[in-house]
């Protein structure tokens, strides 16, 4: 984590840094915008249908989330975070969701790895804009953390800033442990996506909309995560997060403390 915690004494927060922190808070507010709220509401209406499915089918969601994150992490080592921008990734995600929803729940489940990889690439692209090496194991690990940001509900913990206190190694077991921690929160969001895609053909439109919304949501959360990391490189972790949590508290946005 040497690229986050500076060896030289950290600089005091100036007006520019404080303004950037406030802007990151606003990004989190936008991530919980109208489109994501609509997706959550629509999915919640259909989600009761999923409860009628056999436990074996419902239980596949956590496994599907873990497998999708594992695949995305590995694929991203050689292909992600370079030329594609936010708009291109949203287009790819929208098309993927539309195709996944054509056949209802079976094709929606099959499409999850593709959608997750597209979102992961979008998150990587954001990381690169904040001075991170998008192909490094360290950056890809931080991209995984973004998937643990949770959903847009009022009771959600908000952006997870545990990149500050965590000192995970980059070994295979450590990455698997991180994925196992992130996957349940990601799976909770995926349940909304699958619920909206459960009806064949009609699910195509829902799949396109949810994938667009999910990509937009995680891109915004990635800006918050990697924006904080960039500030921490110059100003140190402690005072950056202290200011971040202060602004969050003032604006009554729930937050998961590090």
Name the band, by pLDDT with cuts 50, 70 and 90, for residue 256. low
Q: Which domain holds residue 136?
A: 34-161+168-226
| Within a domain: 13 | no
Instruction: Assess contact for 216 and 89: CB atoms under 8 A.
Output: no
pLDDT at 71 over 60: yes
DSSP sequence for 64-128: HHHHHHHHHHHHHHHHSSSS--HHHHHHHHHHHHHHHHTT-HHHHHHHHHHHHHHHHHHHHHHHH
pLDDT (tens digit, 9 = 90+) per residue, 186-206?
888 887 777 777 777 767 777
Q: How far apart are CA 37 and CA 144, in angstroms?
A: 23
pLDDT at 5 over 70: no
The pTM assigned to this predicted structure is: 0.81
Taking residues 71-81, report their average pLDDT.
81
| Within a domain: 241 | no
pLDDT (tens digit, 9 = 90+) per residue, 155-189?
444 555 554 434 445 566 788 888 998 998 888 88
Report the DSSP beta bridge partners of residue 160. Answer: 256
| Within a domain: 67 | yes
| Within a domain: 243 | no
- Of 85-89, 127-131, 240-244, minimum mean pLDDT range: 85-89
| Within a domain: 150 | yes
Number of domains, the chain: 1
| Within a domain: 12 | no
| Within a domain: 25 | no
| Within a domain: 239 | no
Q: What is the pLDDT of residue 164?
A: 42
């Amino acid at each position: 984590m040497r690229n986050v915690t500076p060896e030289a004494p950290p600089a005091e927060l100036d007006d520019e840094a404080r303004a950037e922190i406030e802007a990151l808070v606003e990004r989190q507010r936008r991530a919980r915008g109208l489109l994501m709220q609509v997706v959550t509401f629509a999915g919640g209406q259909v989600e009761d249908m999923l409860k009628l499915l056999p436990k074996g089918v419902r239980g596949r969601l956590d496994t599907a989330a873990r497998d999708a994150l594992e695949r995305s992490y590995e694929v991203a080592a050689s292909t992600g975070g370079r030329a594609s921008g936010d708009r291109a990734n949203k287009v790819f995600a929208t098309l993927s969701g539309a195709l996944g929803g054509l056949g209802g729940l079976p094709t929606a489940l099959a499409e999850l790895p593709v959608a997750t990889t597209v979102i992961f690439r979008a998150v990587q692209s954001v990381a690169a804009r904040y001075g991170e090496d998008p192909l490094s194991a360290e950056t890809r690990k931080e991209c995984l953390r973004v998937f643990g940001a949770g959903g847009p509900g009022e009771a959600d913990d908000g952006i997870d800033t545990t990149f500050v206190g965590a000192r995970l190694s980059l070994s295979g077991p450590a990455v698997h442990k991180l994925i196992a921690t992130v996957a349940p929160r990601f799976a909770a969001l995926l349940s909304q996506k699958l619920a909206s895609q459960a009806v064949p053909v009609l699910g195509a439109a829902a799949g396109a909309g949810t994938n667009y919304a999910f990509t937009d949501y995680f891109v915004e959360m990635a800006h918050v995560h990697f924006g904080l990391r960039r500030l921490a490189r110059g100003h140190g972790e402690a005072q950056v997060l202290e200011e971040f949590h202060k602004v969050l508290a003032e604006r009554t946005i729930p937050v998961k403390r590090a």
